Amino acid sequence: MKCLTVLGSLCLLLTNWSRGFDLNRTEVVFDDEMAARWPPLFVPITLIQSAAAKGAVCLDGSLPGYHLHRGSGIGANSWLVQLEGGGWCNDIRTCVYRKKSRRGSSYYMERQLQFTGILSDRPEENPDFYNWNRIKVRYCDGASFLGEGYDSASGLFFRGQRIWLAAIQDLMSKGMRNAKQALLTGCSAGGLAAIQHCDEFHALFPGSIKIKCLADAGMFLDAFDVAGQRTLRSFFSGVVSLQGVSVNLPKSCTSRMNPFLCFFPQNVLSSVQTPLFLLNSAYDVWQLQGSLATKAADPHGYWMECKMNNAKCNTDQIQFLQGFRNQILNCVKKFSLSSKTGLFINSCFAHCQSERQDTWFENNSPSIRNKV
């Protein structure tokens, strides 16, 4: 894992977010022989058969799905729902392309997925959640589970919000309604979705149930790119407009600014009432490659080596990255003051750290002040 140690250390802002959850951490020491007897966990897909009647379908009209691995023992009544990430599509051309892939159609989705990191069933890899009911909801709408619309000319279904509801309702029928505690999480576009749906998820349960959210690599910033343009703002504007996302964004935000700006998590954090934890790199590699130093913003390839290998960044590039780091820290400064929130923002050249075992929980996992 590449970490930008040359750029200085980042502060860890952890508060009381984890309090209230019953995290019966299991301390286990495994030798090589025992590890060999514990094969990788592959979980089959479940297509949501009731979704079609609700119009809750992928971009191409196919059924959405999820992967569920049942909890056991003291974790049998605890539920972890992870929303899959995978970018967005912001115009008809890119959405048509997307619907011919696993990001837009269940016909192309893997029939089984390996559960690692926060989804692992091994106590030595995932000591807090290994025995919970763990679900990965597949992402096939292209608007972070928030779209609502249909384009008849291209045959594209923008039904992200309906997919979200259909998946949650199906899980409720399979026991989640009896949960004693539940965690909504997600990575990348799924991390953005976890923030946007956090309070909605909480509202589905009785007030006595412990509900929290964790957004991994979901803090996509409305920042200037290396050419001085707002690439991601333009892109998100297309996503929100094309897929009818504005109707599903927080009214507390859309009532005071243009709806597409409310797709940026930085503009809705203040309205989230449910305990929320942010896991992010201050030098998020996707944002560097996908929105800050794109080919359009860097036509001569000045950033090519730096964005692929942080060790090759020159002084000016490091200064730019430091500026981006400062932006993300400023965006979460007020958020961090609440007793219901928590953060883990490190300097790793990474994206999505809860899904990868090496960044989630291993001997050399990223740490801040000796905390992983």
Gyration radius (Cα) of the chain, Å: 20
Question: Taking the CB of residue 115, how many other CB atoms lie within 10 A of it?
Answer: 24
Residues annotated as catalytic are 188, 284, 351
Is beta strand 65-69 parallel, antiparallel or unpaired with respect to 42-47?
antiparallel
CA distance 53 to 60: 15
CA distance 243 to 142: 9
The answer to whether 120 and 127 have CB atoms below 8 angstroms apart is no
For every residue of 233-287, DSSP letters joined together read: HHHHHHHHHHHTGGGGS-HHHHTTS-GGGGGSGGGTGGG--S-EEEEEETT-HHH
Contacts of 224 (CB under 8 A, 6+ apart): 230
